[in-house]
């Protein structure tokens, strides 16, 4: 199988690369490529970023958020994770989809890993997940892509994917770690992920050579990365509706809030609690309707709305902490 070379570690550019190869790259037969991302969380096409990812942790650790064009769940990438993509024409998805996955599973087995397909979208070793994969169909083309955890930082993975508001207990972290496996533990012959990548590429290509990308094609990918995959509208704004609630004690009393985030914006906000204030808090809720659920946007809206009028003496920064 012929292969492409993608040396980028920019998650947004790599999402654009996947879409370009699926929709625009000339294909006579299946092609594959192996690639990496800098520390990032990649969410599925249908996921709500606010409900699936610990966004505060991502900001603190400079971990990138990116949305892909395939379904499935959120995954954590770092430079000790190797990603694979296989794209080809398809007339029979029931046959071609498993066949594409067999390429990867069989290559791992030849390298010495007792890998097996299991569940909805997992590759397992010793009953633990070492790979998750997803697919997308475009006209008569099929793309299958996934992760191969070589030596991923499992503590970072756990923290980055913690559902907002949840408390990570030691038992919870251990549980997550017990369900996943790094392939390095099963491939002692490879000291680095680069050595693993080289061997896997040789196994999958079976001697076939690389296919070139033109400068024009690379520029088209870069344009799509900037105008789509790097934008707030794509990564946050297209999030489907999710419901949230929070409660916090302030000097004015306990403030409770329930709200929805739909397409990245606040809707249906309601306040409750035993707090004191001069004006009904419903008016503040109306002022926040439709605001982007973004720290800077929300703080700007709160500064104008003057929350101290509704919650005695409460500053915009203090009320912001209720939502985050």
Kindly report the CATH number assigned to the domain that includes residue 283: 3.30.390.50
226 and 262 together in one domain: no
The answer to whether residues 128 and 256 belong to one domain is: no
- Can you give the pLDDT at residue 284? 96
Weakest-pLDDT range from 22-26, 126-130, 160-164: 160-164
Instruction: Identify the pLDDT of residue 121.
Output: 74
Same domain, 282 and 180: no
* CB atoms inside a 10 Å sphere around CB 162: 18
Domain boundary pick from 237, 272, 302: 237
Query: Of 253, 265, 257, which Cα lies nearest the Cα of 290?
Result: 265
Number of domain units in the chain: 2
Whether the per-residue pLDDT at 5 is higher than 70: the answer is: yes
Which pLDDT belongs to residue 178?
Answer: 47
Residue percentage of the chain with pLDDT more than 90: 71
Indicate whether 167 pLDDT > 60. Answer: no
Torsion angle, alpha carbons of 234, 235, 236, 240, to 10: 70
Give the residue from 237, 268, 284 where a domain finishes: 237
Give 296's Cβ-side CA count (13 Å radius): 0
Highest mean pLDDT among 2-11, 112-121, 158-167: 2-11
Task: Say yes or no: 36 and 178 in one domain.
Answer: yes
Rounded to an integer, the average pLDDT of 115-136 is 86
pTM: 0.82
The pair of three-digit structure tokens given for residue 296, joined into one six-digit string:
């800077």
Indicate if 8 and 117 belong to the same structural domain: yes
- Tell me the per-residue pLDDT of 106-117, one tens digit each, with 9 for 90 and over: 999 999 999 998
Task: Give me 101's structure tokens.
Answer: 């996955």
| Domain final residue pick, 213, 237, 261 | 237
- What is the CA angle 26-27-33, rounded to 5? 100
Q: Which residues of 110-140 are buried (b: 16+ CB within 10 A; e: fewer)?
A: ebebebeeeeebbbbbeeebbbbbbbbeeee
Quick check: 211 pLDDT over 50? Answer: yes
Asked whether residue 225 carries a pLDDT value surpassing 70, the answer given is yes
pLDDT band for position 120 (cuts 50, 70, 90): low
Q: Are residues 72 and 85 in the same domain?
A: yes
**Does 195 lie in the same domain as 289?**
no
User: In terms of domains, do 276 and 188 share one?
Assistant: no
pLDDT digits (tens, 9 = 90+) for 30-43: 999 999 999 999 99
CATH of the domain at 156: 3.30.930.10
Give the least confident one: 21-25, 81-85, 157-161. 157-161
Q: Please report, for residues 104, 135, 323, the alpha-carbon distance to residue 146 in angstroms, rounded to integers and kept in the order given.
A: 10, 9, 33
Could you tell me if 39 and 113 lie in one domain? yes
Residue 175 has pLDDT above 70, yes or no: no
The domain of 199 spans 2-237
């Amino acid at each position: 199988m012929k292969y492409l070379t993608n040396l980028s570690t920019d998650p947004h550019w790599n999402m654009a690369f996947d879409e370009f190869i699926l929709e625009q790259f000339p294909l006579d037969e299946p092609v594959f490529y192996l690639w990496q991302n800098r520390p990032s969380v990649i969410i599925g096409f249908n996921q709500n970023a606010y409900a699936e990812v610990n966004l505060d942790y991502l900001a603190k650790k400079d971990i990138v958020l990116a949305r892909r064009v395939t379904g499935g769940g959120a995954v954590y990438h770092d430079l000790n994770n190797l990603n694979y993509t296989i794209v080809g024409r398809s007339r029979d998805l029931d046959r071609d989809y498993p066949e594409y996955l067999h390429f990867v599973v069989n290559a791992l087995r030849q390298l010495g890993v007792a890998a097996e397909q299991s569940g909805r979208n997992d590759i397992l070793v010793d009953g633990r997940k070492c790979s998750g994969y997803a697919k997308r169909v475009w006209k008569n083309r099929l793309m299958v892509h996934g992760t191969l955890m070589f030596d991923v930082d499992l503590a970072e993975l756990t923290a980055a994917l913690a559902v907002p508001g949840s408390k990570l207990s030691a038992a919870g972290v251990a549980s997550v770690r017990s369900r996943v496996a790094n392939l390095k533990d099963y491939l002692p012959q490879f000291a680095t992920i680069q050595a693993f990548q080289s061997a896997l590429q040789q196994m999958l290509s079976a001697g076939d050579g690389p296919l070139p990308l033109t400068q024009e094609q690379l520029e088209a990918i870069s344009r799509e990365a900037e105008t789509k995959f790097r934008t707030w509208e794509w990564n946050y704004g297209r999030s489907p509706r999710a419901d949230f609630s929070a409660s916090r004690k302030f000097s004015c009393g306990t403030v409770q809030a329930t709200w929805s985030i739909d397409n990245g914006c606040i809707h249906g906000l309601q306040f409750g609690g035993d707090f004191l204030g001069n004006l009904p808090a419903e008016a503040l809720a109306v002022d926040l309707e439709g605001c982007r659920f973004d720290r800077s946007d929300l703080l700007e809206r709160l500064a104008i709305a003057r929350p101290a009028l509704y919650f005695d003496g409460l500053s915009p920064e203090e009320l912001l902490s209720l939502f985050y």
